A and B are shown apart, each in its own frame.
Chain A
Amino acid sequence: MYAWVWRHLPGPWPVRLVIFLILLAAIVYALFIWVFPWVEETLEISEVTVG
């Protein structure tokens, strides 16, 4: 999977590395902003109210 991505990135390896890290950062950002809040709400793991 990662090797496949690496092979399909353009440019010499330093360029690939930068693109790869940017991709990774974008994915982590999306996880933190959208995915994890949704998971937290769905799993109901931080409820603090009664009733």
Chain B
Amino acid sequence: MTMREQAETGQPRSGARVRGTPPRRSVPAMIAGGFGELLLTAGALVLLFVVYLLWGTGLQTAAAQDDLRGQLDLGGSASSSQDGSSPDESDSSSDRSLDELALGDAYGIIRIPRFGDDWEWVIVQGVEDDDLRNGPGHYPDSANPGELGNFAVAAHRSGHGEPFAPFPRLHVGDIVEIETVDGTFVYKLDDAPDGDSDGNRISISDSWVVDPVPGQPRDAEPVEKRITLTTCWPRFGSSHRMYATGVLIEEEQR
């Protein structure tokens, strides 16, 4: 007896497809089928999440970088000396304009030739998740470039455009160039991962690396103009952190 004949006689065998009605399945088969669909869906969700992390977050970051670049005015004429208060230090008037930035505002440009000649990112003010998703972030309590103390920057190394993806390739002696409304500041690293993927690994709570004088009490008087970069370790996780640090070797005030 063919299936067509079964359907016509109105006596379908279990599992046979009758036009207009769902196929009849035993309860265990339905449970197993539903469970299988759930597993497939869960797998697809995990894959999608990975796609989001590796690629989706980068789209948002790229758009944000475009916006931030538009905010930056590095011509040097317009942004400084909005208020006429007398500067008590040589560069305090331009410092004020950096200090006036709100969290999330465009702060300056960072260039690291080790990562490629076209490697250039707009730094944002702040290191909250909402700031760092837009680009490398300036620790708001840390010094500004060219000041005594420690100019500290954090950035992602997986997802969100992964600015610091090649971080372990940083070597002692590498150059980090920062450009702000104040001028251009060239730092030379004196402590870096040196090509070791586990190099300069620190604990999450090792905030001493971004202190004004790293390794000294937080109120120690800084005598050096330093830079410190932090990112995550391992690359696709956050159980630890990784850092590199250096000292100012050259500056060109606007």
Contacts and interface: CB of A to CB of B under 8 A. Distances in A.
Contact of B156 (A28, A31, A44, A48): A48
A50 interface: yes
B51 to A, nearest CB: 9
Given A46-B159, A48-B154, A48-B241, A2 B37 contact: yes
Nearest to B22: A7
Interface size class of A (residues with CB under 8 A): 10 to 19
B53 A40 contact: yes
Contacts of A47: 204, 232, 238
Interface size class of B (residues with CB under 8 A): 35 or more
Contacts of A3: 22
25 contacts: A1-B34, A2-B37, A7-B22, A31-B45, A31-B48, A39-B49, A40-B53, A40-B57, A40-B159, A41-B129, A45-B236, A46-B156, A46-B158, A46-B159, A46-B238, A47-B232, A47-B238, A48-B127, A48-B232, A48-B238, A48-B241, A49-B132, A50-B202, A50-B207, A50-B241
Interface of A: 1-3, 7, 28, 31-32, 36, 39-41, 44-51
Given A48-B154, A48-B164, A49-B154, 6 more contacts: A2-B37, A28-B48, A31-B48, A45-B237, A49-B132, A50-B243
